[in-house]
Amino acid sequence: MWIFWAILAALSAALVMVLTKAGLKNVDSSLAFAIQALLIVSITWILVFYQGTVPELKQIDRKAWILLILAGIATTLSTLFSFKALSMGPASMVVTIERTSLVFTILLSVIFLKEKITWQLVAGAILILAGAVLIALSESAKK
């Protein structure tokens, strides 16, 4: 079932990038993110209240709080950087380079989460990097 949600996440992420790029024409990238972040916070807290999971806040241990806060900082930085890049470059190129984060995720997952590395994972990471380089060097990237 996780694949279904992962595909929905990928489709949503693609929609975010295209809509953001279109919306950034005359809007500062940080301001655009602030507007979206306000909606993100509002909608997710409405969902948490609707699901009745607010009491679970008390059960989150200190280590989880620290990790979630650090992830929140990383999410914020990642989005700010993506919005800045989108305000300056073509969406297809920005997203191609930005999605090389998959390779960094593989490396960090192996190092910190002790996930198993396989030849398929290595081959996939190489193909992702090769694809990003190919797209970055394409004629449309030079325009």
Q: Is the pTM of this model over 0.95?
A: no
pLDDT of 135: 85
For the stretch 25-71, pLDDT in tens is 999 999 999 999 999 999 999 999 999 999 999 999 999 999 999 99
Average pLDDT of the chain, as a whole number: 93
* DSSP conformation letters of the chain: -HHHHHHHHHHHHHHHHHHHHHHTTTS-HHHHHHHHHHHHHHHHHHHHHHHT-GGGGGG--HHHHHHHHHHHHHHHHHHHHHHHHHHHS-HHHHHHHHTTHHHHHHHHHHHHS-PPP-HHHHHHHHHHHHHHHHHHTSHHHH-
Domain ranges of the chain: 1-89, 99-143
pLDDT above 70 for 111: yes
